[in-house]
Amino acid sequence: MKKIVIIFLFGMLFQTKSKSQVIPPAPADKSVVYFVRASGLGAAINFTYFDSIKLIGKGNGTNYVRYECEPGHHLFWARSENKDFVEAEVEAGRIYFIEVVPQMGAIKAGVQLKPVDPSNEKTMKRILKIMEKKAPETFSAEELEKDAEKSKDVMERGLEKYREEKEKGKKTDRLEKEMYYKNQ
């Protein structure tokens, strides 16, 4: 009987992952924002992610990007056939999520960014499922620099689009500092 209990416990140890193993803690002096694409719709289409005029990553298919940034105000946005924006106020030592949702586009997939309230269990379950299966997309500084150089015009047009939308009174989704992930 003792042998069965030990085998069972050993199996459970390697079979389950706790949420803290899936989501590494944020550094004490930085904020962490995850861009999670949980849908495979438009899987061949790359979405590119920005923090104002800084390129932070890209990806296609179901994946996610972990982005460490300075605490404070940020304008996160993504580009595909369209551009979508999220204004954010993030705090040091906290983890935040933005869901990246593919949309039907005229020529290729569009993108929508949705700030995630971690109390939304359905959304968090979908996000954690992706994070349990895959490692985050990673990019070397050289890759990001090369892609940023090619994307200068895209970044300028993206910020111009944001300013135009604000002038027209279009409301931008917000990721509030209180929307941090609490199971750290």
d(CA 48, CA 77): 8
Mean pLDDT of 78-89: 95
What pLDDT, on the 0 to 100 scale, is given for residue 21?
Answer: 57
Mean pLDDT of 56-80: 95
Comparing 1 with 53, the larger pLDDT belongs to 53
Helix (H) or strand (E) holding 115: strand 110-115
Comparing 42 with 72, the larger pLDDT belongs to 72
Amino acid at 157: R
CB neighbours of residue 37 within 10 Å: 27
d(CA 41, CA 60): 9
Q: Taking the domains of the chain in order of start, what are their residue ranges?
A: 25-175
What pLDDT, on the 0 to 100 scale, is given for residue 44?
Answer: 81
Structure tokens at 179: 């929307």
| Tens-place pLDDT, residues 96-138 | 999 999 988 777 788 999 999 999 999 999 999 999 999 999 9
What pLDDT, on the 0 to 100 scale, is given for residue 19?
Answer: 46
Mean pLDDT of 77-106: 94
93 phi-psi bin (left φ>0, alpha ψ -120 to 50, beta other): left
pTM of the model: 0.86
Q: Which residue do the tokens 């079979």 mark?
A: 15
What pLDDT, on the 0 to 100 scale, is given for residue 10?
Answer: 38
Residue 16 pLDDT class (50, 70, 90 cuts): very low
- Mean pLDDT score of the chain: 87
